[in-house]
């Protein structure tokens, strides 16, 4: 049986490939979607990858995941550091939620060192480029089979 999984991305992640490639790499958003869906199939997941620049939309998607007990890989983007609305929606999770970041926030500006989402996530993967998503999907698989 295939398990539905959300990979939710916050602001500016749709600009992957052109946005600060020295920080976020050269993989495009379409490449990220392909990476997640391909690995998801190998892991028995039906991966639904979404991106928004709208905080309210991301909150609605987290509510949808909570209501449907859908596991989530979440890259909140800049919302990571200050959105208590995203944090509160993530806290309502009814399945594992893995916070993910392409770069290592602790190796960047001071304001990026705090995540309001991390305390309510199952775990966090950061600093491995697009590979952070692969590691997060594998972590979800492990969480769901334990």
Domains located in the chain, CATH noted? 3-145 (3.40.50.9100)
d(CA 91, CA 89): 5
Q: What is the pLDDT of residue 96?
A: 97
User: How many CB atoms are located within 10 Å of the residue 52 CB?
Assistant: 18
Rounded average pLDDT per 10-residue block, the chain, 146 residues: 92 65 64 94 97 96 98 93 93 97 76 84 94 96 89
**Does 88 belong to an annotated binding site?**
yes
**Does 81 belong to an annotated binding site?**
yes
**Does 112 belong to an annotated binding site?**
yes
Encoded tokens for 48 = 């639904």
Is residue 24 annotated as a catalytic residue, yes or no? yes
Per annotation, catalytic residue among 29, 82, 101, 113: 101
**Burial profile 53-90: b = 16 or more Cβ within 10 angstroms, e = fewer:** eebeebbebbeebbeeebbbbbbbbebbbebeebbebb
Q: What is the pLDDT of residue 98?
A: 98
What is the value of pTM for the model shown? Answer: 0.89
Beta strand segments in the chain, E: 3-9, 45-51, 72-75, 97-101, 123-126
């Amino acid at each position: 049986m295939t398990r539905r999984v959300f990979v939710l991305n916050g602001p500016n992640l749709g600009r992957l490939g052109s946005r600060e490639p020295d920080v976020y790499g050269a993989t495009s958003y379409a490449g990220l979607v392909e990476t997640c869906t391909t690995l998801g199939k190998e892991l028995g997941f039906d991966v639904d990858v979404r991106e928004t620049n709208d905080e309210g939309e991301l909150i609605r998607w987290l509510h949808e995941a909570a209501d449907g007990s859908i596991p989530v890989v979440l890259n909140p983007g800049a919302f990571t550091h200050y959105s208590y609305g995203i944090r509160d929606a993530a806290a309502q999770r009814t399945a594992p939620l893995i916070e993910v970041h392409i770069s290592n926030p602790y190796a960047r500006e001071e304001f990026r060192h705090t995540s309001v989402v991390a305390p309510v996530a199952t775990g966090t993967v950061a600093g491995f480029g697009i590979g952070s998503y692969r590691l997060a999907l594998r972590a979800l698989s492990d969480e769901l089979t334990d």
